[in-house]
Amino acid sequence: MPAPSALNAYPKLRSLALSLLLVSGPSGALDSASITASALSPNCLEYRVVGICFWLLCTPFGCKIKTSTKVRHFTPELVVSSYATTGNNPWTEMAVLSSPISGAEGGGNLITPNTRRDNLARFKNVDGIGHPGGSAATQLASQSGYACASGATAFKPYYLSTLDLLAWRHGIPESVYPESLTPGVREIGQQAAGNMWGNVYPRQGFLVQLDDFKAAAVMAQRAGDVITRHGQPHVYLPLTPDKRDGYWPPGPIVENDASTHKWQLLYPQVQPTCALFPSDPLQSADGGYAWSLWRPYSCCKREGQTLLFSIDFAGGAS
């Protein structure tokens, strides 16, 4: 049986979360306080009891098997900002990290926008910075039971596109990758469904896309794709937590796959829910956008020296 929502079990917490999250209109500048408050989202958290862990506990008097509950929930790991003008990260307190440098001064669209044209090449800078509300989300999860620690570090700059000059501004070397040259590969949305927003490769800052929100979202997906993998030809710090007994961190994000990640819009409006791209567009007046990237963790409380195995209620074992 799924665990009850933490907000249903704790009315005061529910009231606080609703007052912080239910933002009805466009927000002003995005700051750390509003980002932290956005982490109090049961919809994004999606807390579940998913199985049982079996531990071997040994003492001087012998060994025995103990069990603990295996849980799964999403955690906000990154604030991914996607914006037109270099140095204008919507998260104002972090804007100084992406100030213009030699070779990465400009930004914006290559052509004056015209609704009668569909060949608008848009450019976005992207920053991926550690989410300041990870501990708040963990506390929310702990109200329902055991909670998994995030592998991300708050305020840590995992990716700044101004420093990734060759890859982000010139498409080197990914412009010639098979994923970049093959139609229908690594696309956000589906051509058949009429909601294809753009291709993940090449993971650079340019995209032909009429809609500004969609272009920004594709850039955020590209940056998240890089950050959650090892050994990519980019200047970045990988966010790839190590697995250990009783702790199963997420793998790389994959477009269109809700089991690997989801996005929560923070700017131009803080929203209390999460979604995959494609999602409902919300245009920004200044060409800046920001999302929280949530990824799923599974864990169980350590009850012995050695994890023997775990069983998921769906029938799988790990």
45, 293 contact by CB (below 8 A): no
39 inside domain: yes
Show Cβ contacts of residue 72 under 8 Å, excluding neighbours closer than 6 positions: 46, 47, 48, 50, 148, 296, 297, 298
1 inside domain: no
Taking alpha carbons only, the member of 235, 215, 88 closest to residue 160 is: 235
Tokens linked to 105:
């001064």
pTM of the model: 0.88
DSSP 8-state secondary structure symbol assigned to residue 300:
E
DSSP 8-state secondary structure symbol assigned to residue 60:
T
Other residues' Cβ atoms within 10 Å of the Cβ of residue 157: 16
Q: E strands of 84-156, at which residues? A: 121-123, 125-130
pLDDT of residue 109: 61
Helix (H, G, I), strand (E, B) or coil at 133: coil
Counted domains in the chain:
1
For residues 75 and 133, give the distance between their C-alpha atoms in angstroms, rounded to a whole number: 9
Taking alpha carbons only, the member of 218, 205, 201 closest to residue 108 is: 205
Output the tens digit of pLDDT for each of the chain's 318 residues: 333 333 343 344 444 444 444 433 344 689 999 999 999 999 999 999 999 999 999 999 999 999 999 999 999 999 999 999 999 999 999 999 999 888 877 766 655 555 555 567 899 999 999 999 999 999 999 988 899 999 999 999 999 999 999 999 999 999 999 999 999 999 999 988 889 999 999 999 999 999 999 999 999 999 999 999 999 999 999 999 999 999 999 999 999 999 999 999 999 999 999 999 999 999 999 999 999 999 999 999 999 999 999 999 975 666
For residues 150 and 134, give the distance between their C-alpha atoms in angstroms, rounded to a whole number: 7
Show Cβ contacts of residue 270 under 8 Å, excluding neighbours closer than 6 positions: 21, 23, 27, 30, 34, 37, 38
45, 71 contact by CB (below 8 A): no
Scanning 66-142, the segments in alpha helix (DSSP H) are 134-142
309, 248 contact by CB (below 8 A): no
pLDDT of residue 114: 55
For residues 2 and 246, give the distance between their C-alpha atoms in angstroms, rounded to a whole number: 20
Q: Which domain holds residue 177?
A: 6-312
- For 18-28, b where at least 16 C-beta lie within 10 A, e where not — what string? eebbeeeeeee
317 inside domain: no
The residue to which tokens 């001087």 are assigned: 60
125 inside domain: yes
The dihedral over CA atoms of 304, 310, 312, 315, expressed in degrees to the nearest 10, equals -140
Taking alpha carbons only, the member of 194, 250, 200, 241 closest to residue 220 is: 200
DSSP 8-state secondary structure symbol assigned to residue 75:
E
136 inside domain: yes
pLDDT of residue 254: 98
Tokens linked to 138:
């963990």
